[in-house]
Amino acid sequence: MAKEVVKKIKLEIQAGKATPAPPVGTVLGPAGINLQEFCTKFNDATREKMGDVVPCEISIYEDRTFDFVLKTPPAGFLLKKVAKIQKGSAKGANEIVATITEADLRSIAEIKLPDLNAYTVEEAMNIVEGTARNMGIAVSGRTDKELAEQAKEALEEEKEQAKREAALEAMAEEAQNLDVANVEAMNEKEEKTEE
């Protein structure tokens, strides 16, 4: 008879660096499994992927035993690693922070293919390309010209927005000055009627 799964937990842990300390201990401690055993098994299974972030899906059974399945590293992590950047663009596709080659894109797609909803490497490349676009990473020969044009348009839009905001601030200040002047005029009028 198969054991019943009580809980499924998903974690992203650096390969070969799982310890019973937080965040692993914080998440798995309440589940009642042997933390040291999990860490040892995870570190042994991920030793060859040292330096990568490895998503892990842990199935916990009613007798407090567990199994885990390792997934491929997140596309964002792989893209940052290939592009040699610390983080993606804060403005998404409107700001290019790095450019990668189509060969880099293909290698990431081949790594990610088992975990993506794609049947071919080309489909996986399109998915990873979308992630790259949202991170502000252009793919030379595929999206670099398009993203550069989009970034230029976004910059122009930002300038227009700044002009509109400056005009609004000026109008708000003018309205506030008018209000103050009106209040002062009403106060003077009331003082005159009281006299």
* Same domain membership, residue 61 and residue 12: yes
Q: What is the pTM of this model?
A: 0.64
Please report, for the domain that includes residue 39, its CATH number: 3.30.1550.10
The total of structural domains in the chain comes to: 2
Full residue range of the structural domain in which residue 118 is found = 75-148
* Same domain membership, residue 86 and residue 66: no
Instruction: Give the Cα separation of 138 and 128 in Å (integer).
Output: 11
Q: Which of 132, 148, 164 is the last residue of a domain?
A: 148
Tell me the pLDDT tens digit for each residue of 47-56: 888 888 888 8
pLDDT for residue 143: 63
* Same domain membership, residue 86 and residue 64: no
7 in Cβ contact with 68 (< 8 Å): no
* pLDDT per residue of the chain (195 residues) written in tens, 0 to 9: 567 878 888 888 888 888 888 888 888 888 888 888 888 898 888 888 888 888 889 888 888 888 888 888 888 888 888 888 888 878 776 777 888 888 888 898 998 888 888 888 888 888 888 888 888 888 877 666 676 676 677 777 778 888 888 888 888 888 887 777 777 777 777 777 766
* Same domain membership, residue 41 and residue 14: yes
Please report, for the domain that includes residue 108, its CATH number: 1.10.10.250
* Same domain membership, residue 84 and residue 58: no
